[in-house]
């Protein structure tokens, strides 16, 4: 990895100024317009992260409405119709408005810093792709207030539930997803253009930090599958409004085709939500184990292998639609094959820790919890991949437990870890250690309290997406609901930590963590608005 002495950087100068030209940045707009018009990758990154954090709480409140209703059997608080809207909106908001923008925000902040670029390749496009998001999700959330209610067909919006039997607001839902999709696509193009063309002189692809690598691969996945999602929802739009029959059996269409198309997007999508997390954890573990990452090359190839395999496994979400035996076997084995590169990654993390000089700062705690709990989610994934067993597990709470284990202590913990890791670089202050430790332990307890009992409820046969359940599931659900409120409330601590950290705290030096070696630690903390106007000289370490 790169070993660079911290170099003092000129503050508040621009590439233009460096070239002796007119400095256009002196006329920076003030107040709100500064944020609306910004083309600076750090400010846009901050906007992404703040947007994602607020949507995390919106989606979280929806989840708590669901958990409140499920606290006891029977129908207590809300109508089943509203329950369906809550499960759907929770999923859509968390996937498209919380997790994906959080990773894009981290990419915006950190990729130029990690490859020694002055900014993203296309700064104005960057501004546009961020500001599409509030538009998309205002539109999506507004459907809840429309007559007939918001989307109620699950985040997977299977036809004909989302076409023939959909509420009138579905066209707004389609438009919102289109806009969010365009935002992701533009973000992905920007990231690819930045990584491929703007690396510091001397930095080869195989010298890039893993966060950059995983994001490069994620961006390719986005470019490959977001257009397919756009195609699917365009077909839905035409089925609903223009009398076509893509998914309408009456007109010769096929609802099963919808599922094939959706999951052709949907499975790579779940890797879009986890690959950048791998990158973050691969940065944090070597830092706090004070050892270089074990098996850097194999990490890169494992990530690429996971991305390629993700195109060959989509039908494992559809074992029950009546696939022929050959297809069931193919998708079962190809899915299990993904465990191999994922296992390589987990092995590398554990081996990096082996004989390391480990300290347990908050980012490291979250990263370690990620490794353990994500692996649990991975194992339940292998159980679900077994086609004959999936006939029992399909659409039960076991599936819910599985994907929440890979998304909450997986993706979200990695985002939290990344936030704690880079907060000193963003704000110039260390996050409050004691509060961050509290946040970690409450989160870890809350996550397991919420999602672990769901495994048992699911194996015992409790179906997902239903507001009521049989009496034998009552205890598991009560524990899950208590855990959910516990977890949800403890996330407020994170907001408190961030606010305190922005306002003050222990000053952080340029290299905020002892073992941190990547390029971002060579610029001062907090990172000035403009960095690497003159490309740094990248020195490859000999190790």
**Token pair for 536:** 């740094």
> Is 243 a residue that touches other proteins (CB under 8 A)?
yes
Interacting residue with other proteins among 11, 75, 206, 249 (CB under 8 A) = 249
* Inter-CA distances, 309 with 301, 316, 331, 342, Å: 12, 12, 11, 11
Can 342 be counted among the known catalytic residues?
A: yes
Can 184 be counted among the known catalytic residues?
A: yes
Which of the following is catalytic: 42, 67, 291, 345? Answer: 345
Interacting residue with other proteins among 17, 50, 223, 466 (CB under 8 A) = 223
Closest by alpha carbon to 218, among 8, 411, 495? 411
Contact residues for 127 (Cβ-Cβ < 8 A; gap 6+): 37, 38, 39, 44
Least distance between other proteins and beta carbon 185 (Å): 6
Region at 305 (left for phi over 0; alpha for psi -120 to 50; beta for the rest): alpha
Identify which of residues 324 and 388 has a Cβ nearer to other proteins in the complex: 324
Residue with tokens 């000289």: 537
Can 530 be counted among the known catalytic residues?
A: no
Can 525 be counted among the known catalytic residues?
A: no
Interacting residue with other proteins among 232, 300, 373, 523 (CB under 8 A) = 232
Can 119 be counted among the known catalytic residues?
A: yes
Interacting residue with other proteins among 192, 384, 407, 412 (CB under 8 A) = 192
Closest by alpha carbon to 221, among 311, 153, 294, 149? 311
Identify which of residues 196 and 470 has a Cβ nearer to other proteins in the complex: 196
Interacting residue with other proteins among 5, 19, 27, 297 (CB under 8 A) = 19
CB 35 within 8 A of CB 43: yes
Can 90 be counted among the known catalytic residues?
A: yes
> Is 224 a residue that touches other proteins (CB under 8 A)?
yes
Can 8 be counted among the known catalytic residues?
A: no
Least distance between other proteins and beta carbon 16 (Å): 11
Give the three-class secondary structure for 518.
coil
Q: What is the DSSP letter of 198?
A: -
Q: Which phi and psi (to 5°) does residue 507 adopt? A: -65, 140
Burial of 213 (0-12, 13-18, 19+ CB in 10 A): buried
Which of the following is catalytic: 14, 282, 481, 490? Answer: 282
> Is 10 a residue that touches other proteins (CB under 8 A)?
no
Interacting residue with other proteins among 74, 165, 320, 537 (CB under 8 A) = 165
> Is 225 a residue that touches other proteins (CB under 8 A)?
yes
Least distance between other proteins and beta carbon 165 (Å): 8
Using CB under 8 A as the binding rule, the residues of this chain from 122 to 161 that contact other proteins are 122
- The interface region with other proteins, picked from 128-136, 245-253, 328-336, 407-415 by CB under 8 A, is 245-253
Q: In degrees, to the nearest 5, what angle opens at C-alpha 411 toward C-alphas 144 and 482?
A: 65
> Is 391 a residue that touches other proteins (CB under 8 A)?
no
Give the three-class secondary structure for 36.
helix
DSSP letters spanning 133-180:
HHHHHHHHHHGGGSTT-S--STTTT-TTTTTTT--TTHHHHHHHHHHH
Can 334 be counted among the known catalytic residues?
A: no
Contact set with other proteins (CB under 8 A): 19, 121-122, 164-165, 185, 188-189, 192-193, 196-198, 223-228, 230-232, 235, 243, 246, 249-252, 254, 256-257, 260-261, 264, 322, 324, 327
Which residues are known to be catalytic?
A: 90, 119, 155, 183-184, 267, 269, 271, 282, 316-317, 342, 345, 464
């Amino acid at each position: 990895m790169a070993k660079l002495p911290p170099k003092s950087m000129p503050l508040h100068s621009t590439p233009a100024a460096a070239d002796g030209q007119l400095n256009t940045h002196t006329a920076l707009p003030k107040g709100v317009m500064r944020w609306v018009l910004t083309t600076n990758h750090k400010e846009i990154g901050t906007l992404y992260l703040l947007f994602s954090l607020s949507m995390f709480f919106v989606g979280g409140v929806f989840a708590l409405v669901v958990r409140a209703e499920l606290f006891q059997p029977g129908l207590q608080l809300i109508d089943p119709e509203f329950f369906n809207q809550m499960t759907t909106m929770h999923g859509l908001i968390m996937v498209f408005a919380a997790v994906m923008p959080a990773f894009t925000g981290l990419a915006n902040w950190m990729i130029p810093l990690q490859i020694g670029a002055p900014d993203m390749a296309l700064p104005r496009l960057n501004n546009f792709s961020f500001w599409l998001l509030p538009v998309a999700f205002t539109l999506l959330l507004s459907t809840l207030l429309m007559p007939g209610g918001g989307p109620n067909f699950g985040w997977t919006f299977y036809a004909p539930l989302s076409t023939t039997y959909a509420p009138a607001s579905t066209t707004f839902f389609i438009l919102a997803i289109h806009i969010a999709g365009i935002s992701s696509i533009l973000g992905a193009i920007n990231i690819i253009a930045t990584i491929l063309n703007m690396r510091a002189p001397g930095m080869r692809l195989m010298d890039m930090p893993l966060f950059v690598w995983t994001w490069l691969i994620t961006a390719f996945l986005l470019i490959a599958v977001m257009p397919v999602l756009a195609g699917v929802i365009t077909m839905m739009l035409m089925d609903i409004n223009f009398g076509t029959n893509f998914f309408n059996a009456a007109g010769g269409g096929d609802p099963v085709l919808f599922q094939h198309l959706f999951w052709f997007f949907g499975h790579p999508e779940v890797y879009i939500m986890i690959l950048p997390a791998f990158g973050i954890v691969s940065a944090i573990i070597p830092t706090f184990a004070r050892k270089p990452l074990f098996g850097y090359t194999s990490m890169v190839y494992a990530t690429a292998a996971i991305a390629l395999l993700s195109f060959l496994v989509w039908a494992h979400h559809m074992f029950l639609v009546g696939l022929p035996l050959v297809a069931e076997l193919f998708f079962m084995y190809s899915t299990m094959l993904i465990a191999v590169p994922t296992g390589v990654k987990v092995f590398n993390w554990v081996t990096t820790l082996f004989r390391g000089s480990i300290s347990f700062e908050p980012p490291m705690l979250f990263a370690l919890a990620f490794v353990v709990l994500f692996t649990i989610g991975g194992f339940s994934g292998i159980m679900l991949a077994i086609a004959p067993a999936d006939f029992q597990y399909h659409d039960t709470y076991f599936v819910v437990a599985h994907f929440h284990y890979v998304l909450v202590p997986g993706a979200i913990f990695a985002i939290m870890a990344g936030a704690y890791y880079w907060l000193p670089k963003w704000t110039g202050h260390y996050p409050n250690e004691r509060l961050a430790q509290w946040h970690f332990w409450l989160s870890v307890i809350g996550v397991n309290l919420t999602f672990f009992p769901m495994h048992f409820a699911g194996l015992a046969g409790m179906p997902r997406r239903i507001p009521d359940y049989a009496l034998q599931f009552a205890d598991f659900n009560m524990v899950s609901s208590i855990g959910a409120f516990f977890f949800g409330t403890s996330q407020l601590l994170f907001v408190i930590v961030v606010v305190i950290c922005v306002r003050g705290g222990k000053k952080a030096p340029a290299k905020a963590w002892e073992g941190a070696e990547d390029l971002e630690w060579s610029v001062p903390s907090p990172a000035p608005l403009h960095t690497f106007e003159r490309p740094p000289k990248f020195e490859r370490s000999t190790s």
